[in-house]
Structures are given as structure tokens and as C-alpha cells.
């Protein structure tokens, strides 16, 4: 069982504390000291009896913390944090400022095993899953830098649905009114397309948002860019997302990274539009960001707008995302680029 108290949702903490002291209301104090007041030492949680604190520490329970190894700020005010966990695992998160609206893009794993061809994190390989506490702590670190966090997106290093339980529990912790109290609709979990976990997410009785990385119109194109497409092909992925939209009534965001000569043609746009049309969705187009040893490049001038026009002509709400934080390797697909061997 997890010993890091920061990784416990409130109901799980109540169950644990009821077992240790018979008084589950103490869990509320512990939870809010950790997640609202952001204390990281058990002895600081003075509203709970010393006896209970001693039982917890004697049994090895602790409150994890992260060390910030480096902070970099881009001229566009994007800020990148490099963290080290207690075992030395490193990962990054990014704080974006959009006219005062602060969004934190957090990591769910150290490294990633998905191997997407356009992503620097893939070059690191998989190191380990982050705990719910380590995921939530990235938001608290950003909050110490920005006064108010408006949105959290699980789009940093790693595949959140490959660490499903910890990622969802972190979202539940961030949403809890006894902690940060961030609205569920301001928390987005993204996936490169793990169909089974999308089905689990469809059943989850929470209002969190879903983003799915598509990056191709055709199966063959996606097979070349994303190894996950071999076991989770586009046709089945769109069916799972369609089911998600129908059952939850929620809109999904589709992410599409445009790469010169690979997936930015008119044919890819038309095929992608045909699939996306079936969904209640909006599309984010992102131009490829150079990183590490990746040999791709961004689309030629005018191609991104042409691609967007095709989607819009098909009635799909489409946004072209400005590439923020590129100078500090904090933009999409660039995390970890500086450590790539
Ligand atoms: S794009 Fe996301 S899922 Fe793909 S390798 Fe990078 S971090 Fe992993």
C-alpha cells in the first residue's frame, strides 16, 4: 500500500485514518494541511493528536515533496520547472500564462514508453509512473509562482492513461474542495489513444475533460508516427471517443501536431475531418516543435491555415495553437529534449 499521504484521495485517507485511530474526521485535517495549506511534515499537522501522528510515522507514512532543480522562463512568460523526486527521477512541468489565465501542464510519468515519433520525451524511454502526490505537487509548485491556477492539463511527460489510477486520483485530489478545489471542468486528461482506459474514463462519474492525440487522418500515417496505433487503431479509437461523447454528453478535444510532408496534406485533412465530424469535438492544431535529434520539421508557410480551413469547412471548431515556450524547450513534444542522449 502507498505510504505517501499526499497520494491519498480524501475517501481513501478517511478509510486509513479510521483504521488507525477510529476517528475518520482527522483525515479532513490531514488532507487540507497537505493539499490546501501545502505542509509537507506530519508534525506540522497539529490539529490531529500527536499519538495519531506518531502511529503514522512509526508505520512509515510520510508526505512526499519534490525538489525544483531548475526554473526557466521564456520571453513569452512561459515557465518550465524541472523537478527531482525523492528517488532522483526527473520530470518537467510548464506554466503557461494566457492573458492572466494560468494553465499548468503536468507530467504523469518520468519518461514515456509510447514512442511517438515527434516527441522528445519518447527518446528518454520509460523510467517510472509518478504517484498521485507527485503529480499534484507539480500544480502546487506552479501555484507558488502564479497566484491562481485556472487550468490543469495532463499533457506533460508521459501517457496519463498508462498510469491511469494515479493520474485520475491526482485529478480527484486537485478537484477536492478541501484541497485546491479546482473545478473538474478545468482539469483535462489527455491520451495518445489507449482505448480500454478511454472506456474506463467514460464510466468515471466526474466532469474532467478528455483530450485525445490523433495526429493523422489515415491509419498508415498514424502507424508511422505512433506505435500505439498498431494495437489501438484509429477506427476503433474514434468509435471509443464517439461512445464517450454520447454517454457523457461532453465535448472532446482532438490534438493534431502538423509535420511537414508527413501528415499535413489536403488528403489527410479531409480524412481526419470525416472522422472528427462524427464527434462533439474541437480540434487543436499545433505545428511541430523541433526537439533533440528529431528529424521532422514544421509545415511550410500557409499549410497550417489551409489544413484548418478544411476542418472548418466541415463544421469542426478548430484552433491553431501558438507555440509557446519554444526557446526554453517547453512547447508540445519538447519536454526532456535537453536530457536526450
Ligand atoms: S507524445 Fe505523449 S504519449 Fe507520445 S511519447 Fe510523447 S509523452 Fe509519450
- Outline where 256-318 has alpha helix (H): 266-276, 303-313
Per DSSP, which regions of the chain are E strands?
67-73, 79-84, 90-98, 101-105, 109-111, 126-129, 151-154, 187-191, 209-213, 252-258, 281-287, 317-321
Computed from CA positions of residues 37, 38, 41, 42, in that sequence, does the dihedral angle turn out positive or negative? Answer: positive
What is the CATH number for 181?
3.20.20.70
Lowest mean pLDDT across 39-53, 100-114, 283-297, 309-323: 283-297
Dist CA 5 CA 56 (whole Å): 9
- Based on the residue annotation, tell me whether 281 is a catalytic residue of this protein: no
The minimum-distance atom of ligand 1 relative to the CA of 118 is 1
Taking the CA of residue 226 as centre, how many other CA atoms within 13 Å lie in the half-sphere pointing to its CB?
A: 25
Single out the residue in 15, 43, 59 at which a domain terminates: 59
Segment 113-142 shows an average pLDDT of: 95
Q: Are residues 26 and 157 in the same domain?
A: no
- Is pLDDT larger for residue 327 or for residue 173? 173
Overall domain count for the chain: 2
Q: 267-278: buried (b, 16+ CB within 10 Å) or exposed (e) per residue? A: ebbebbbebbee
pTM above 0.75, yes or no: yes
Give the list of residues 6+ apart from residue 58 with CB closer than 8 angstroms, or none: none
Work out the pLDDT band at 324, boundaries 50, 70, 90.
confident
- Based on the residue annotation, tell me whether 92 is a catalytic residue of this protein: yes
Q: Are residues 36 and 106 in the same domain?
A: no
158 C-beta closer than 6 A to ligand 1: yes
Q: Are residues 188 and 255 in the same domain?
A: yes
For residue 36, what is its C-alpha cell? Answer: 490546501
Residue-level pLDDT at 22 = 78
Q: Is 148 helix (H, G, I), strand (E, B) or coil?
A: coil
By residue range, what is the domain housing residue 269?
67-328
Q: How many residues does the chain have?
A: 341
The minimum-distance atom of ligand 1 relative to the CA of 155 is 2
Residue-level pLDDT at 341 = 52
Amino acid at each position: 500500500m502507498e505510504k505517501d499521504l499526499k497520494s491519498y484521495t480524501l475517501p481513501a485517507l478517511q478509510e486509513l485514518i479510521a483504521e488507525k485511530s477510529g476517528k475518520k474526521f482527522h483525515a479532513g485535517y490531514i488532507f487540507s494541511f497537505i493539499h490546501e495549506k501545502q505542509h509537507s511534515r506530519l508534525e506540522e499537522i497539529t490539529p490531529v493528536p500527536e499519538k495519531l501522528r506518531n502511529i503514522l510515522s512509526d508505520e512509515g507514512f510520510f508526505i512526499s515533496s519534490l525538489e525544483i532543480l531548475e526554473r526557466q522562463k521564456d520571453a513569452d512568460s512561459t515557465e518550465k520547472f524541472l523537478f527531482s523526486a525523492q528517488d532522483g527521477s526527473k520530470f518537467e512541468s510548464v506554466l503557461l500564462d494566457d492573458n492572466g489565465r494560468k494553465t499548468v501542464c503536468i507530467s504523469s510519468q518520468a519518461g514515456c514508453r509510447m514512442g511517438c515519433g515527434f516527441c522528445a520525451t519518447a527518446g528518454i524511454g520509460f523510467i517510472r509512473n509518478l504517484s498521485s502526490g507527485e503529480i499534484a505537487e507539480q500544480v502546487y509548485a506552479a501555484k507558488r509562482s502564479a497566484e491562481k491556477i485556472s487550468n490543469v492539463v495532463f499533457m506533460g511527460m508521459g501517457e496519463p492513461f498508462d498510469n491511469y489510477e494515479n493520474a485520475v486520483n491526482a485529478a480527484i485530489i486537485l478537484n477536492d474542495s478541501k484541497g485546491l478545489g479546482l473545478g473538474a471542468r478545468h482539469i483535462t486528461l489527455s491520451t495518445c489513444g489507449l482505448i480500454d482506459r478511454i472506456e474506463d474514463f467514460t464510466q468515471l462519474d466526474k466532469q474532467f475533460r478528455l483530450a485525445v492525440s490523433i495526429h493523422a487522418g489515415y491509419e498508415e500515417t498514424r502507424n508511422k508516427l505512433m506505435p500505439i496505433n498498431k494495437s489501438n487503431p484509429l477506427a476503433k479509437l474514434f468509435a471509443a471517443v464517439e461512445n464517450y461523447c454520447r454517454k457523457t454528453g461532453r465535448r472532446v478535444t482532438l490534438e493534431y501536431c502538423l509535420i511537414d510532408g508527413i501528415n499535413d496534406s489536403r488528403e489527410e485533412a479531409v480524412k481526419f475531418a470525416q472522422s472528427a465530424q462524427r464527434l462533439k469535438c474541437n480540434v487543436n492544431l499545433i505545428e511541430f516543435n523541433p526537439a533533440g535529434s528529431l528529424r521532422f520539421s514544421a509545415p511550410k508557410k500557409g499549410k497550417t491555415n489551409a489544413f484548418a480551413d478544411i476542418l472548418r469547412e466541415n463544421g469542426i471548431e478548430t484552433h491553431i495553437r501558438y507555440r509557446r515556450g519554444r526557446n526554453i524547450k517547453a512547447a508540445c513534444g519538447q519536454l526532456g529534449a535537453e536530457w536526450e542522449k
